[in-house]
Structure 1
Amino acid sequence: MTLSSTARTTHSRKSAWLAPLVYLLAGGALLGLSTNLAKLAGDIQLSALAFLFWSISGAALILLVLAAFRRNLPPVNRRTVEYYAMSGLLGVAGANLLFFSAIPHVGAGFVALIITLPPLLTYVGALALNMERFQVLRAVGVISALVGAVTLAFHKLSAPDADYLWILLALIGPVLLAIGNLYRTLRWPEGVSSDALAPGMLIAAAVILLSVGFLPGFSLNVSTDRSLPIMLIAVQAMVFAGQFLLLFLLQKSGGPVFLSLLGSVGAVVGIPVAILLQGETAPEGLLLGTLFIGVGIALLNIGKAKQYPNTPVQKGG
Structure 2
Amino acid sequence: MKAVSFLPPVVRTGTTPMILFTGTIISASFILAKLAVESGIPSFAVYFWQLLTACLILLVLTVVRGEKLPVSRRHLTYYLLNGLMGSCLPQLIAYAALGHIPAGLFTVLITLSPLFTYLVSSLADRRFLPWPRLAGILTGLIGISLATFGGFAVSGVNGSWVLIAALSPMFLAVNNVYRAKAYPQGTSPLALALGSMLFQILLLWPVLIWTGHDYQPFSLTGLLDWAVLLIGLITAVSFILTFELQKRTDGLGFSQVGYVVTLAGILLGAWIFNEPLSPVLLISLILLFIGLGMTNGHLHLPIGKKD
Q: How does 1:1-317 map to 2 (within 5 A)?
A: 19-99=14-94, 106=102, 114-130=109-125, 134-158=129-153, 170-215=165-210, 217-222=211-216, 226-280=221-275, 282=277, 286-302=281-297
The CA distance in 1 between the partners of 2:151 and 2:159, in whole Å, is 10
**Alpha-carbon distance, 1:228 to partner:** 2.7
> Retained in 1: the 8 A contact 2:144–2:263?
no
C-alpha separation in 1, matches of 2:238 and 2:106: 17
Is the partner of 2:183 in helix, strand or coil?
coil
> Cα offset for 1:288?
4.2
* Inter-CA distance 190–294: structure 2 relative to 1 (3 Å threshold): closer
Q: Any gaps of 5 or more consecutive residues in structure 2?
A: 1-9, 302-307
- With normalisation by structure 2, the TM-score equals 0.80
C-alpha distance in 1 between matches for 2:93 and 2:279? 24
Higher helix share: 1
Q: Residue 6 of structure 2 aligns with which residue?
A: none
Q: Per-residue displacement from partner, 1:283-304 (whole Å, max 9, x unpaired)?
A: 7954444443332112223358
Question: CA separation in 2, counterparts of 1:62 and 1:80?
Answer: 20
Gap change, CA 1:257 and 1:304, over 3 Å in 2: farther
Tell me if structure 2 keeps the 8 A contact 1:135–1:303: no
Number of aligned residue pairs = 289
Aligned residue identity for 1:80: H
Query: Is this contact kept in 2: 1:23–1:249, CA < 8 A?
Result: no
CA distance in 2, matches of 1:276, 1:158: 25
Amino acid aligned to 2:213 = S
CA contact (8 A) 1:152 1:286 kept: yes
Q: Please give the alpha-carbon distance, in whole angstroms, between the structure 2 residues aligned to 1:228 and 1:163.
A: 38
1:32-83 deviation per Cα after TM superposition (whole angstroms, max 9, x unaligned) = 1122122112111111211111110111111121122222222112221111
How much has 1:19 moved relative to structure 2?
Answer: 2.7
Unaligned runs of 5+ in 1: 1-14, 307-317
SS of 2:14's partner is: helix
SS of alignment partner, residue 198 of structure 2 = helix
C-alpha RMSD over aligned residues? 3.4
For normalisation by structure 1, the TM-score amounts to: 0.78
